Amino acid sequence: MRLGLNLYYKDSGRWIPIPEWSNFLINLGNKLAKRINDNNRWTMALAFPTKLFSAPFIGIGLLYSIFMNTSPENMLDTHFHKLASLEKNTFVWYRKKNRVLKAKLLGVTHFQGERWLLIQTQSKSAGGLTEYVSKKDALNIQLNPNQSLRLPNNQRGRTVTTASRLADIIFGVHSQALLKQSETKLCIVGDREQIESEVTKNQFGVYMNNQFIKGTLNDILRVRQFLNTIDPYQSQFVSSLARNLETDLSLNPTSVVIYSGSNSFLNRRRDFSSQNSVIILDRSEPQFEFAVEEVNNGYIESPREDTFSLELGELPRGIEMLYWEEPQ
């Protein structure tokens, strides 16, 4: 069963349905997301005539499946409990209307039979203004990775956009979790210029009510490095050429790493050896044969479990695939 996202892309002023191979990759991401669990680690290796847009489309399928198979209520519960368990005076971002304020999380308090989060948005010297945030509004609070040492005396905050018509159409009621909750579900390793162009500089849309609801793929993928610094994210990007790996990727056991290209896989595979991974290889790349050899060695040497079929149907022409699972 294919996902019915019905995406179009804009080319020379015309809206054109994305090709069938793109829908195949979105569906592949959806199938892979359903294999994420605590017991097994999987690897998907793909060889293409060209890798253009392959990583973003697989990423969209992964995110779509992850979000649509988790209820908004469970997402909210998980986020609220995560915040409630943080140490007192942890720095956070607090979204109030269309602005983001720097704040401290002071803990949890009870009011009218419910638990509320207590935050401080002003320095003590200026009065120490505090606010109560209900559970239903908990997504307006996110961790501040900068961990500033002090609160300002008074602040107007910074403008932030927590709305995307394209995300709303695709994710429905799940879109607010996508747009407000920061968590690294995906990590794309590749060439920055190519990936950034694919996800931020090309127009995509969904046709509805006699009009196109348009945006970019980053409205869906939410890659942190291609957003404003305070915007919520769902994905991260790592350059295949960077000398040092970033220390704030915040991967968890269920995060998926997508290697876009042979160099990405060859240069970074040891950094993410414990993660579920998608390896995208382009036959036109100079390092293609070396990467294929490494993939085959990984398959042969892995303690593979019984072969599991993803039931993808017929592969698009020109695509080769190798998939295996192994115990964590």
Q: Locate the domains of the chain by residue range.
A: 7-71+163-327, 73-159
* Most confident by average pLDDT, 133-137, 148-152, 289-293, 307-311: 289-293
- Average pLDDT on 295-316 reads 85
Measured distance CA(80)–CA(76) in Å, rounded: 6
At 319, list the tokens: 């695509």
pTM above 0.85, yes or no: yes
Residue bearing the bigger pLDDT, 107 or 147? 107
Residue bearing the bigger pLDDT, 153 or 257? 257
- Average pLDDT on 191-210 reads 95
Cross-strand partners of 133: 117
Q: Collapsing DSSP states into helix, strand and coil, what is residue 149? A: coil
Whether the per-residue pLDDT at 250 is higher than 70: the answer is yes
pLDDT digits (tens, 9 = 90+) for 163-198: 789 999 998 878 877 777 788 999 999 999 999 999
- Report yes or no: 280 and 54 within 8 Å, Cβ to Cβ: yes
First and final C-alpha spacing in the chain: 29
Alpha helices in the chain (DSSP H): 20-33, 54-68, 72-84, 165-171, 175-180, 192-200, 218-221, 262-268, 288-301
- Report yes or no: 160 and 99 within 8 Å, Cβ to Cβ: yes
| pLDDT score, position 32 | 96
| pLDDT score, position 1 | 43
- Split at pLDDT 50, 70, 90, the class of 256 is very high
Measured distance CA(65)–CA(103) in Å, rounded: 33
Summary mean pLDDT of the chain: 90
- Split at pLDDT 50, 70, 90, the class of 9 is very high
The dotted CATH code for 73-159 is: 2.30.30
